[in-house]
Amino acid sequence: MGAESFGNANFGGAAGVARGMGTKRTTTTDPAAVLAAAKARVAVELHGVHGVAHWARVRENGHRLARHTGADKELVELFAFLHDCCRESDGTDPGHGARAADYAATLRGSLLVLSDERFGLLFEAIRDHEKGLTRADVTVQTCWDADRLDLGRVGVKPLPKYLCTAAAKDRDTIAWAYRRSRAA
């Protein structure tokens, strides 16, 4: 994707993407359209602790980790945009992962054009990201780590024992992510 402006959540031109595109059939997944759909669905403050700035950091964390883990970068990006879009609260919100995964399923075949295997990985990553799990496919693990590395935004330093991949557990990676999320 092109240049991003996360203040207005214009990820590579998504501002011009119309709401309600979930019914449009495409042959490829357009991350900007998925982002627009997630923004349209979100119930919490779009610029709050679980909003678009968080999504942008999760995306960047995930892409950085994927260079080391070999994770599917497209799925990591889609996870970043969708994992918190169905939160009903910025506080404790049990079930928000399952709600977001179910929402992703409604986009399948229209905005999300993925094989069964790839969609299954995305669904699992979104559904289970709030459960604190660490064992899964490397793409799923990379998604979870990308999210957990942004805990600094709420004053929590990520601990290696709660991370999945060696790349995320790296002391320098944790320090980088923590500084970045605290500056937000």
Asked if pLDDT for residue 87 goes beyond 90, the answer is: yes
Q: Of 16-20, 72-76, 81-85, 172-176, which range is least confident? A: 16-20
- Quick count: other Cβ atoms within 10 Å of Cβ 16? 8
Asked if pLDDT for residue 1 goes beyond 70, the answer is: no
Q: CA dihedral defined by 44, 154, 183, 6, rounded to 10 degrees?
A: -20
2 in any annotated domain = no
Q: Tens digits of per-residue pLDDT, 29-73?
A: 999 999 999 999 999 999 999 999 999 999 999 999 999 999 999
Alpha carbon distance 59, 81 (integer Å): 8
Residue numbers of the domain that contains 117: 28-182
49 in any annotated domain = yes
Name the phi and psi angles at 86, rounded to 5: -110, 20
13 in any annotated domain = no
Please check whether residue 2 is in contact with residue 15, taking contact to mean a CB–CB distance below 8 angstroms: no
Residue 27: which pLDDT band, with cuts at 50, 70 and 90? confident
Q: Tens digits of per-residue pLDDT, 101-142?
A: 999 999 999 999 999 999 999 999 999 999 999 999 999 999
7 in any annotated domain = no
53 in any annotated domain = yes
Instruction: Quote the strand ranges of the chain, DSSP E.
Output: 4-5, 10-11
Asked if pLDDT for residue 6 goes beyond 60, the answer is: no
10 in any annotated domain = no
Instruction: Give the CATH number of the domain where residue 50 resides.
Output: 1.10.3210.10
User: What's the confidence (pLDDT) of residue 25?
Assistant: 55
157 in any annotated domain = yes
Asked if pLDDT for residue 3 goes beyond 50, the answer is: no
SS3 183: coil
- Tell me the three-class secondary structure of 161-177, residue by residue: HHCCCHHHHCHHHHHHH
Domain count within the chain: 1
User: What's the confidence (pLDDT) of residue 26?
Assistant: 62
Alpha carbon distance 77, 64 (integer Å): 11
Question: What is the average per-residue pLDDT within 66-92?
Answer: 97
140 in any annotated domain = yes
